[in-house]
Structure 1
Amino acid sequence: MAQKASVIRVQLQIADMDRHYYQDHNLTLAQHPSETDERLLVRLLAFALNASENLAFSSNLSDEGEPELSEKNLHGDIELWVAFGQGDEKWLRKASQKAKQVKVYAYGERSVPIWWQQNEKALKRYKNLQVWEIPEAALKEMTQMTSRSMQLQCTINEQQIWLSDGSTSVPLELTLLTR
């Protein structure tokens, strides 16, 4: 019998001084049994870093033809396509063709440099693609906050990021691999 996804409820307060975005979001996420806590938190972090009125998670995580997190305009065109992990170059090329802007949030301390070395030349051709690396130590600290019901605060100032759950605060500084 297949295991069901866990329902994760998140109250996320965002204070992004770099973009002058201050908003509270009540999110309900499905965490598939095969999804790690690290990946779930990368999805939440990516939401906080790109938050807007039209940013939304996909309802189907297994559809490779659609972004897991995206912002669409009123015409249904994809303004922002957000991907997680270490995507395939062909898949990222398709995303770059479909969206005005594509952001990848890569994680996995040992594997990201290898993936980047193998894909850097091809990925740098896509002018609308940004690849961000999330530091593994900070991601491990963030997993301490994981629960089925979370109240998180994300503060962003001068590209310094702090994620807090009231008792734990994790500073993050992402590395931009390409622009």
Structure 2
Amino acid sequence: MAMGSTMHTFEVDLADVDRSVYEQFTLRVARHPSETESFMMTRILAYCMEYTEGIVFGGGVSTTDEPAVLVRDLTGALSAWIEVGAPDAARVHGGSKSAERAVVYTHRDPEKVLANWRGKIIHRGDAIDLFAVDPALVSESVSALERRNTLTVSRTEGQVYLDLNGVNIAGSIVAHRLE
């Protein structure tokens, strides 16, 4: 018998000083059995760092034509394609062609991700940000993870501060570009 997704709920208090975004919202996140907790936490951080009107999680592993997180404008047009992990160059190329903006958040070694993209055709490749999430930020978040979570996310001057279920975690999210 196949295992089902594990549901996690996050009561989020977001204070993104760098972008002047201050919001409170609830996220209900389904973690597919094939998805690691590190990937899920990176997906949640990507959602928070990109939070704007029209942001939603993609369809997940069963939907190959959507990213992990996406943003649609009021007309329904795709304005941001937000991938997580280490997507291949073809996926990033397709995302960049289908949205005004494409970004990737990774909990992996950013140099290895960029190395897999080098020499490949990627639409507007020089405009795609690869955000490397501090591995300690992800691993410490995973350690504090529960099924029901309270999460405070603060970003200021490029530093990210989390309070996840009473555990304080700090780290950085560093932008890289394909050269």
> What's the TM-score once normalised by structure 2's chain length?
0.91
> What's the TM-score once normalised by structure 1's chain length?
0.91
Alignment of 1:9-158 (within 5 A): 9-109=9-109, 112-122=110-120, 125-158=124-157
User: CA distance change for structure 1 residues 120 and 177 in 2, over 3 Å: closer, same or farther?
Assistant: farther
Contact kept? 1:106, 1:132, Cα under 8 Å: yes
Name which of structure 1's ranges 35-44 and 116-125 shifts more when overlaid on structure 2: 116-125
Name which of structure 1's ranges 55-64 and 40-49 shifts more when overlaid on structure 2: 55-64
Q: How far off is 1:135 after superposition?
A: 2.1
Q: How far off is 1:155 after superposition?
A: 0.4
CA distance in 2 between counterparts of 1:129 and 1:63 reads 22
Contact kept? 1:10, 1:27, Cα under 8 Å: yes
Fraction of identical pairs, as percent: 22
**Partner of 2:125: helix, strand, or coil?**
coil
Name which of structure 1's ranges 121-130 and 42-51 shifts more when overlaid on structure 2: 121-130
Name which of structure 1's ranges 60-69 and 29-38 shifts more when overlaid on structure 2: 60-69
Unaligned runs of 5+ in 2: none
CA distance in 1 between counterparts of 2:4 and 2:116 reads 35
CA distance in 2 between counterparts of 1:108 and 1:160 reads 18
Q: How far off is 1:31 after superposition?
A: 0.6
Q: How far off is 1:121 after superposition?
A: 4.7
AA of the residue aligned to 1:118? N
1:168 aligns with 2:167: yes
**Partner of 2:100: helix, strand, or coil?**
strand
AA of the residue aligned to 2:152? Q
AA of the residue aligned to 1:2? A
Misfit runs of 4+, over 4 Å: none
Number of residue-to-residue matches in the alignment: 177
Contact kept? 2:38, 2:138, Cα under 8 Å: yes
CA distance in 1 between counterparts of 2:56 and 2:103 reads 14
Unaligned runs of 5+ in 1: none
Contact kept? 2:9, 2:28, Cα under 8 Å: yes
